[in-house]
Structure 1
Amino acid sequence: MRDSNTYLYRAMPNTNFCVDVFLKNDIKRGENYKRHWHEQLQLYYFVEGKAILECGHNRFEVSCGNVAVVNSNELHYLESLSDDLEFYVIRIDPTFLFSNQVDLLQTKYFAPLAQNHIAFQNLIENDAQIVDYVTKTIQEYFTKETGYELAIKGSIYQLIVLLMRRYVGKILTKNEFEERARTLKRYEDVFQAIENNYVEKISLKELADSVNISTYHFCRTFKQMTGKTTTEYINGVRLEKAVCFLEQTNLNITEIAQKCGFDSVNYFSRLFRKHYNTSATKFRRTHTGQFST
């Protein structure tokens, strides 16, 4: 099992250059990036396959040619819909854009970005200019010809301009941003409790008590943050575990449903079909070919 902590810190390979680019091609159909968040701004550029991406309360399908923006301090999750999924990740520390001298650009644009007061729309489709600058950034990063750092910085400046002109989803006030960051940190124990106890009956009241708020306020805040009700989120975690059992064990469907916290195999089967658009039995046959029910 992967680390259940939803906060992710990953150091830059080069501490003197606050941009990192890498290719992800190891997430097969039904597998996922766990829900997590971080301070850095990220761009995903999809070159093969399809996936479901959730950013905050937004959920959408992404495919070849799409660019996705993951804002700082935004809870996100990706699930592969194909075995050939490939996408580049561009990680940007907003301080990368800063100069040593405070000027109008820094005050008007880069400081709000670094302080996460500007949130961009997540899905970008059919935008040739965005794709052009993304691919230039990737190419420069891997070829590393003389002056590649300048070329990357120039491309990212152009990307920021286009994002600001076309894809600003919301401009957060300082209080709104601080509240969002506090909420994510406050709910760390909630996400871990769900991850650790998905087999058991999970009480909404106990989850709410763990963050010292009423059940009503807890459910409202949870949905604002994840885009899902608490029950939907818990069932999503259980279905993720079910996929692992289907692929890696010879347990039958009833046994898997029970091991993943479902009291009813019929309820499990309905949810699985709704989420994956196929039955659990067909999913196992397609993805392993080893076990039958």
Structure 2
Amino acid sequence: MRSDLWENTVMTDPALPINVFHPTFRPGCSLRLHWHEHFELIYVESGEVLYTIGGQPFPTKPGDLLFVNSGELHAAAAVRPNEPFTVYALVFNSSILGLKEPHIVDLVAPYTNGMSMIANRIEQTDPWYPLLKNTTLRLAEEFERKPRGYELAVRAHCQLLFTWLCREFTVMQRSDSEMNAFRARTDLFKELLTLLESDVAQRVTVEQAAARVHMSPYHFCRMFKKMTGQTFVQYTNLNRINKAEYLLKNTTMSVTDIAAEIGCSSINSFSKLFRQLRGVTPRDLRKGQTI
């Protein structure tokens, strides 16, 4: 599904379908809810981060390792809003594992089609943790420095990491019927979330959202919180404020027009919500941009 929630992760070399990100998120910044077909291995270098993966919260500290399976919705935010955090994120396509060999296809295919899943957290107390951590950082170093032959080293490290994760951290496999139901439900939620992000001014009620995913409002609210880590109201409000912040920083639209653009009924309600989620008023944020 190509949508606002789907992330088209850049792979600069088609022959080496992997990218290594090493971002530092400034105080107040977060990683929005998204998904991609690729696998992702995350190492928390500094700061405390709350990741939400597949609807489950994972509070992390420096040194923690997380894994995101193909297609899993995930997001991240600092545990302490005033502190930054830095992570390594290794995002790789299954084709880097070498899918020309039948026995490799047999190993990898269940993880690419969702029939098998790797655990989202690798505990620091686990006996495999030191090897996984060191290999992750060696891979990242090879990719960043790019010494002669780094392509072979990156591919080899990636193959080893995935092999070890499959052997030691595969969680319970789902039956065909369970997986079909899971995919259908997840796809409906992805479509709904895409709708909410694509038109933040549209007022979608809980009842309307629940109807789109064929659930009662009660069960919808429970499932929405599980999938996103936020209530429906929290999620829609955050979408509006994210859009407003972008417009404040990147356009000359008036605050009044921005309030209307994101569906706020008045300047006062817009300013109150913006201050609640960003700690400053819209005008103060824009003023700070010009200092």
- Preserved contact between residue 50 and residue 82 of structure 1 (Cα < 8 Å): no
CA separation in 2, counterparts of 1:233 and 1:7? 17
Quickly say closer, same or farther: Cα 1:262–1:180, change in 2 above 3 A.
farther
Are 2:193 and 1:194 equivalent residues in the alignment? no
Quickly say closer, same or farther: Cα 1:174–1:73, change in 2 above 3 A.
farther
Structure 2 letter corresponding to 1:72:
S
- Preserved contact between residue 43 and residue 69 of structure 1 (Cα < 8 Å): yes
Of 5-14 and 231-240, deviating more is 231-240
Describe how 1:125-164 pairs up with structure 2 within 5 A. 125-126=123-124, 127-164=129-166
**SS of match in other structure, 1:169:** coil
CA separation in 1, counterparts of 2:73 and 2:215? 21
Quickly say closer, same or farther: Cα 1:61–1:261, change in 2 above 3 A.
farther
Structure 2 letter corresponding to 1:35:
L
The equivalent residue for 1:36 is: 34
- Preserved contact between residue 30 and residue 243 of structure 1 (Cα < 8 Å): no
The equivalent residue for 2:94 is: 94
Q: Deviations over 1:232-256 (max 9, x none)?
A: 53355467678889999xxxxxxx9
The equivalent residue for 1:8 is: 7
Q: CA deviation at 1:178?
A: 4.5
Are 2:112 and 1:114 equivalent residues in the alignment? yes
Quickly say closer, same or farther: Cα 1:142–1:170, change in 2 above 3 A.
same
Are 2:19 and 1:20 equivalent residues in the alignment? yes
Q: CA deviation at 1:73?
A: 0.8
CA separation in 1, counterparts of 2:204 and 2:186? 20
- Preserved contact between residue 121 and residue 168 of structure 1 (Cα < 8 Å): yes
**SS of match in other structure, 1:14:** coil
The equivalent residue for 2:254 is: none
The equivalent residue for 2:253 is: none
The equivalent residue for 1:253 is: none
CA separation in 1, counterparts of 2:220 and 2:84? 39
- Preserved contact between residue 33 and residue 228 of structure 2 (Cα < 8 Å): no
Quickly say closer, same or farther: Cα 1:76–1:192, change in 2 above 3 A.
same
CA separation in 1, counterparts of 2:148 and 2:180? 40
CA separation in 2, counterparts of 1:130 and 1:47? 14
CA separation in 1, counterparts of 2:99 and 2:235? 42
The equivalent residue for 1:252 is: none
**SS of match in other structure, 2:22:** strand
**SS of match in other structure, 2:88:** strand
Q: Report the TM-score, using the length of structure 2 for normalisation.
A: 0.73
Are 2:55 and 1:57 equivalent residues in the alignment? yes
- Preserved contact between residue 67 and residue 120 of structure 2 (Cα < 8 Å): yes
Structure 1 letter corresponding to 2:164:
L
- Preserved contact between residue 94 and residue 113 of structure 1 (Cα < 8 Å): no
CA separation in 2, counterparts of 1:245 and 1:54? 27
Correspondence for 1:203 among 202, 205, 216: 205
CA separation in 1, counterparts of 2:28 and 2:249? 10
Q: How many residues align?
A: 278
Quickly say closer, same or farther: Cα 1:64–1:216, change in 2 above 3 A.
closer
CA separation in 2, counterparts of 1:288 and 1:51? 28
Structure 1 letter corresponding to 2:66:
A
Q: Report the TM-score, using the length of structure 1 for normalisation.
A: 0.72
- Preserved contact between residue 37 and residue 70 of structure 2 (Cα < 8 Å): yes
Quickly say closer, same or farther: Cα 1:229–1:159, change in 2 above 3 A.
same
Of 48-57 and 201-210, deviating more is 201-210
Quickly say closer, same or farther: Cα 1:58–1:231, change in 2 above 3 A.
same
Structure 2 unaligned blocks of 5 or more: 251-258
Q: CA deviation at 1:41?
A: 0.3
- Preserved contact between residue 56 and residue 227 of structure 1 (Cα < 8 Å): no
Are 2:73 and 1:75 equivalent residues in the alignment? yes
Structure 1 unaligned blocks of 5 or more: 249-255
**SS of match in other structure, 1:141:** helix
CA separation in 2, counterparts of 1:196 and 1:99? 36
CA separation in 2, counterparts of 1:57 and 1:75? 7
